[in-house]
Amino acid sequence: MRVAFQGEQGAYSEEAAYQHFPAVETVPRRTLREVFDSVAERGVDAGIVPVENSEAGSINQTYDLLLEYHHFLTITGETNLRVVHYLLGQPGTRLADVRRVYSHPQALAQCDAFLRKLEADQVPHYDTAGSAQMIAAERRTDAAAVASRRAAELYTLEILAEEIQTNPQNYTRFLVIQTDPVPRADPSKTSVVFGALHKPGALYNAMGALALRGINLTKLESRPARRAVWEYVFYVDIEGHSEDPKVADAITDLRAHCAWAIVLGAYPAGATP
């Protein structure tokens, strides 16, 4: 099983791939779009992408790409990874000497309390492990990276501070994307995206299709529709499989109250943190 992830070796996405699959060869890609492209073009068997974090919230680009690539890909799984952040620097670097901290914007946001006290400039970078790789290559002693313990080991960096995430219960939810659906399993989740009609009560009626059937909604996210100003699309995750009669009826009813609705995938539910 070859699985693409965004970032360099040592990234949390790679760790999520190892957590989800019993045996896997990881394939680094620089951007999330490149992960989606690799799967759609069948250059890899699957991709794993972050979709939300318990501290910093949703990863908007992932949601947009799920809709953009829905003709080619489907969600086939999810995994919840506990993310533990470390401040990494060149061996011999003192915490007091750190003037700049590099990492992915999500990681910086998840360590906001610690980094504010450090009073160093926060510099967004494309990847946590990529930041560690850069610090190692440049051999700077006035800069550090927020990344994983594995990144410290891979790039021979020193841990300057441990567990610097603001919330000890810091989890990132990852989705697995593939070209073909996986066999049905219980418990399951189904992810749907829809465009609500532009009239009073449209979202209420759409959500009523689920509520009237006692279907639990686990996630609701809105994103700009990009077709007209101040119009939105809505992403929902629900408990149950799209082939379950109750869920199938709800999706049919949902479509009747929407401009359009697309099932992004039905997949085994990940273990709850």
* One domain for residues 194 and 236: yes
The per-residue pLDDT for range 223-253, each reduced to its tens digit, is 998 777 788 999 999 999 999 999 999 999 9
55 assigned to some structural domain: yes
> Cα(130)–Cα(141) distance, rounded to whole angstroms?
17
CATH number, position 207 = 3.30.70.260
Element (H, E) at 105: helix 105-110
* One domain for residues 105 and 126: yes
Query: Could you tell me the pTM of the whole model?
Result: 0.93
* One domain for residues 18 and 42: yes
Residue 197: what pLDDT?
86
Residue 35: what pLDDT?
98
The per-residue pLDDT for range 158-174, each reduced to its tens digit, is 999 999 999 989 999 99
Residue 3: what pLDDT?
98
55 pLDDT band (50/70/90 cuts)? confident
Q: Is 110 helix (H, G, I), strand (E, B) or coil?
A: helix
Residue 22: what pLDDT?
86
Q: Which amino acids are annotated catalytic?
A: 172, 174
* One domain for residues 93 and 76: no
Q: Give the structural domain span for 41.
A: 2-82+172-178
> Cα(110)–Cα(17) distance, rounded to whole angstroms?
21
* One domain for residues 56 and 113: no
C-beta atoms surrounding 222 within 10 Å: 13
Share of the chain above pLDDT 70, in %: 100
183 assigned to some structural domain: no
DSSP string, 233-256: EEEEEEES-TTSHHHHHHHHHHHH
CATH number, position 120 = 3.40.190.10
* One domain for residues 59 and 97: no
Q: Is 198 helix (H, G, I), strand (E, B) or coil?
A: coil
Strands 57-58 and 46-53: antiparallel
The residues facing 171 across adjacent strands are 82
* Number of separate domains in the chain: 3
Angle at the Cα of 227 from the Cα atoms of 109 and 222, rounded to 5 degrees: 40
166 assigned to some structural domain: no
* One domain for residues 91 and 132: yes
Residue carrying structure tokens 């465009």: 195
115 assigned to some structural domain: yes
Q: Which of 152-157's residues contact partners 24+ apart within 8 Å by CB, and which partners?
A: 152/86, 152/88, 153/10, 154/9, 154/10, 154/129, 155/10, 155/88, 155/129, 156/91, 157/88, 157/89, 157/90, 157/91, 157/132
Residue 2: what pLDDT?
98
The answer on pLDDT for 272 being more than 90 is no
273 assigned to some structural domain: no
Q: At what angle do helices 202-211 and 245-256 cross, to 10 degrees?
A: 170
* One domain for residues 92 and 43: no
Residue 231: what pLDDT?
84
